[in-house]
Amino acid sequence: DVVVSWLPLYHDMGLIAGFILPILSGLRLVLLSPFDWVRAPQKLLQAISAYQGSLCWLPNFAYNFCAQKIRARDLEGVNLSSLRAVINCSEPMSWKSQQMFLERFQPYGLRPEALATCYAMAENVFAVTQGGIDAAVTVDVIDAAAFSQRHIARPVRQAAPLDAPGSLKMLSAGRPIANTQVRVI
């Protein structure tokens, strides 16, 4: 694998996934300045293409930022087919954000199966759960009213289409990673 990251090293995701993990695992690492990424987010995708990046962790806002800010002229020659996983982590994950990112960059080789999710907490030295690596990320379609009014994630009726009015798509953060136990208290 080749890890490509712009994440700041003072953040646990940047430090652990984007610096310590590659060093301890002997993986190649392409590290960009977060300041350069904010000014020119296309540099991330250009680096993935140039160095055949296979792993990249992004907070949800970065999916939106890249999809909305990167211009087609900045993607000439970019090939994202080397990505094994682009992992949505570090803040609440949005199905819409992932779809917007996929639709924007699929013409450049981004594969739907490369979209992954993760739940992390610094108290666990980063990752707790992972989704989308061994199988597609699970998308739960729930009743939007029950969720917003009563905080209950009630599944939409089976007969209803997945994009039915009043439904909300929620991304699963996946299953606990190896050697991790989860307890909700």
In whole angstroms, give the CA distance from residue 19 to residue 21.
6
Instruction: Tell me how far apart the alpha carbons of residues 79 and 60 are, in angstroms, rounded to a whole number.
Output: 22
Evaluate if residue 58 carries a pLDDT over 80: yes
Read off the pLDDT of each residue in 163-178 and give the average, rounded to a whole number. Answer: 86
* 142-170 pLDDT per residue, tens: 999 999 999 998 998 765 565 667 888 99
Alpha carbons 85 and 75: distance in angstroms, whole number:
19
What is the DSSP track for 108-159?
Answer: GT--GGGEEEEEEEGGGTEEEEEESSSSPPPEEEEEHHHHHHH---PBPPTT
CA distance 116 to 113: 8
Q: What is the mean pLDDT of residues 40-51?
A: 98
Q: Which residue has the higher pLDDT, 50 or 177?
A: 50
Calculate the average pLDDT of the chain. 92
Kindly report whether the global pTM for this prediction surpasses the value 0.85.
yes
With CA atoms as reference, report the closest residue to 30 among 60, 12, 6, 65.
Answer: 6
Q: In the prediction, which pLDDT does 48 show?
A: 98
Mean pLDDT over 30-38 rounds to 96
Lowest average pLDDT, out of 45-54, 107-116, 119-128, 167-176, goes to 119-128
Find residue 141's DSSP bridge partners.
169
